[in-house]
Structure 1
Amino acid sequence: MYKTVLVPVDGSPMATRALDVASEMCRLFGARLITLCVYRHHSPLEASLSMVRVKQAAERPDDSLKTYASEIAAAAKARALDSGVEDVTAYAKRGQPSRAIVAFARQHECDLVVLGARGNGDIEGFLLGSVSHKVASLAPQHCLIVR
């Protein structure tokens, strides 16, 4: 039924639950699984106020965030492989999460997007709506929101 399933991950327990559901679906359908961790770009002002502290003076906050996002996506890939999914790919992308997820799903021709109901979002998510809600509203693909 599904050939390519996208699971956006952020390291939260809900994202891990979504990953487990997607992994089971991929095993059943013989589908390809893609994990994606989206990190937000920091403007110079935001970078100066960032809670991310760099390891070296030459490293920018965006570089630290990309490394962290890559680690989250890789850990999700390893979990999916351990659960028996045979074809798994991991990506880290910069951007506004809901828009980046929808664009990525379209670009990679994903049939299904599986998301956790709530992730590690900031206060904006509480005020303006969650990433999962925005993706479900914007994506042309089927979306499964896991609680």
Structure 2
Amino acid sequence: MLGQLNDTQIELLLTAQVTGHLACQQDGIPYIVPINYVYRKGAIYAHSGPGKKIDIMRRNPAVCFEVDDITSVFRWRSVIVQGIFEELTDIAEKENAMQAIIHRIMPMADSPAAHPSHGITENEYAIGTDIDLIVYKINIISKTGKFEQA
């Protein structure tokens, strides 16, 4: 049976997952990458180093984000978000977002001090001193969800 997720189910799936797929596009050419994220206050917060994804989103901030939970080919849930990329510039907002991301992904890190590219250091207040992290959020315009269960 296929069905639509309701708003509560969408919120729960966005909150429960830690990795999703971010799609952006430049000159009609789509580009999609997996990202670690945290869902807070109705927005998706993430970070990145400089590169293609950030360059594209700075030029065209319209993005799509997808997250799913797949148990089997006939048992899954998926959410698709349409949104707008916003690079965070306020230091306090960047620190709050990075702390939330770190606390969300830390339990999944096999050696926390060994992941500076994700802003995970032995001292979370050292974030950004050695690494050029770009912290951003996706302001959500719309979100939909579907599921299948046998």
- TM category (shorter chain) comes to under 0.3
Structure 1 length-normalised TM? 0.27
Bigger Rg, which one: 2
Structure 2 length-normalised TM? 0.26
Which one has a larger percent strand, Structure 1 or Structure 2? 2
Which one has a larger percent helix, Structure 1 or Structure 2? 1
